[in-house]
Amino acid sequence: MQEQNENRERLVAEWMIKGQAKRGKPITTPKSFSGRVREDPTSFLENLVVDAEANGWDETDLLEVIGGFLKDNARE
């Protein structure tokens, strides 16, 4: 079941990235964040901003795609 959820989340993230033709093909794909204790939310957000800049995403683009990189507790 966890594998199904991870696959679904990956597909949603890919759809969100590919579905926005105005952004073009991403140079880098941000890593996901689930909100587990071992994960650092600050690092996730800092890396997300760096990846967004590398991909040429503005704040609107970032708000459109961020949900695709959140999973488990972080998505809830």
pLDDT digits (tens, 9 = 90+) for 8-58: 777 767 766 665 555 666 678 889 999 999 999 999 999 999 998 888 888
2-6 LR contacts (CB < 8 Å, sep 24+): 5/71, 5/72, 6/71
The pLDDT of residue 42: 95
CB atoms within 10 A of CB 23: 19
pLDDT at 62: 86
* Cβ–Cβ < 8 Å for 26, 62: no
What pLDDT sits at residue 43? 95
Contact 33, 71 (CB under 8 A): yes
- Average the pLDDT over 68-75 and give the result: 89
Distance CA 47, CA 31 (A): 8
pTM over 0.75: no
Here the tokens at position 68 are 């695709």
pLDDT at 68: 86
